[in-house]
Structure 1
Amino acid sequence: MAMNLILLGLPGAGKGTQAEKIVKDFPVIHISTGDIFRANMAEKTALGEKAKSFMDAGELVPDEITNAMVADRLQEADVQEHGFMLDGYPRNEDQARFLDSFLADHNSKVSATLYFEVSDDILRQRLLGRGRADDTPEVIDKRMEVNKAANLPLVDYYKKENVLHTINGNGDLDDIYANVKKVLESLA
């Protein structure tokens, strides 16, 4: 069975950096929710048009639309053959339950959820180091607070599902990846 992964962690935890390393060593398809949204909007799909109407109004895209876009992507041939690595989805427990149900309907399941746990101080340093204009200490602290509120219930959810692997994301990138690789090799 193909490996199906979920990456969890706060902004600055290193999910994207680790995802780049994972796809070099494991034949999984990296799926970013942002990429799915952009592709659907660019192709002017019905789902993309619906999502755009919410985004243009400054509102969150409802779960039903996000779930449908993700479900469409997971049914494509490359994912069917190689499995997936989701980054940015699920964002809440309802989405996690939808994903589990969708996968079960397709004789599949989440193989592992990698939660990159990083101290607040290191996250703050990393985010300030990006040099983005909107990355002020106040904005970063608010973003961390909002993301913790969203991430921690998912960490608990996947812990109960016995697929959670907590990765210490505080250290050197190669050391972090060595720990990721051990987890993934244990799944094979």
Structure 2
Amino acid sequence: MGHKTFIFIGTSGCGKGTQAKLLRAYLEKNDHGIEIFYLQTGSHFREFIKGDTYTQKLANEIMEDGEREPDFLAVWIWSEAFIKNIENKEHFIIDGTPRSLNEAVVLDTAIRFYKRGKPYVVFINTSREWARERLRGRGRADDKEESDVENRLNFFETDVMPAVEYYRQNPDYIFLEINGEQSIEDVHHDIAAKLSE
């Protein structure tokens, strides 16, 4: 398969994190000998805001208010992870980035810098109503208030969808649109099947 890059994108609650982990397990089983660099930006952010610097405190306030972190922080978080971990002999699985068109453009410069070839963008597409029900049912602290759920869904439509369209229209990416309103197993099967084409 060679060294591949996979970018998972979709609304909150669509299951992109689950599918990224399933792809990781699939690659570990079927693509022996190639390491995997797995980046989940949400966990890096949650770890980052535990600190007590002024920047970390401001970022924590933004997260507590349910607002989107500024692009420069998101780029810094994944850039630092790239710089510290990439040997360019591994697959990349990127989960939770980009979250804006600006971030997608900057991520593209990193992919070009590392000479990653044509990345796969796995867009797990769900309706707003389906995602809303998933968010209500998963019980995470940041999904408790109805207004928080609506803010997250609005954020996806206004901020993330331009990044999705950037990838859909960009011939330098292999864009895979997956129906996310299926069982976890069926979504994973569809992803694996499209990657095998």
Q: TM-score range by the shorter chain?
A: 0.7 to 0.9
- Range that drifts further, 110-119 or 130-139: 130-139
Identity of aligned residues (%): 24
- The residue number in structure 1 matching 2:150 is 141
| Displacement of 1:60 | 5.2
Of 71, 89, 92, 1:84 maps to 92
Deviation per residue, 1:110-145 (Å, 9 max, x gap): 511111111223212212212346434443233212
- The residue number in structure 2 matching 1:172 is 183
- Range that drifts further, 139-148 or 91-100: 139-148
- The residue number in structure 1 matching 2:132 is 124
Matching of residue 156 in structure 1 with residue 165 in structure 2? yes
Q: Cα RMSD between the aligned structures? A: 2.6
- The residue number in structure 1 matching 2:196 is 185
Of 93, 107, 118, 2:115 maps to 107
Matched residue SS, 2:115: coil
- The residue number in structure 1 matching 2:31 is none
How many residue pairs are counted as aligned between the two chains? 182
- Range that drifts further, 122-131 or 162-171: 122-131
- Structure 1's consecutive aligned runs of 4 or more residues displaced over 6 angstroms after TM superposition are none
- Range that drifts further, 77-86 or 168-177: 77-86
Amino acid at match of 1:185: S
- The residue number in structure 2 matching 1:94 is 102
The answer (yes or no) to whether the contact 1:116–1:167 under 8 Å persists in 2 is: yes
Give the whole-Å Cα distance in 2 for the aligned partners of 1:128 and 1:33. 22
Q: Given the two structures, how large is their TM-score scaled by the length of structure 1?
A: 0.81
Structure 2: runs of 5 or more not aligned: 29-35
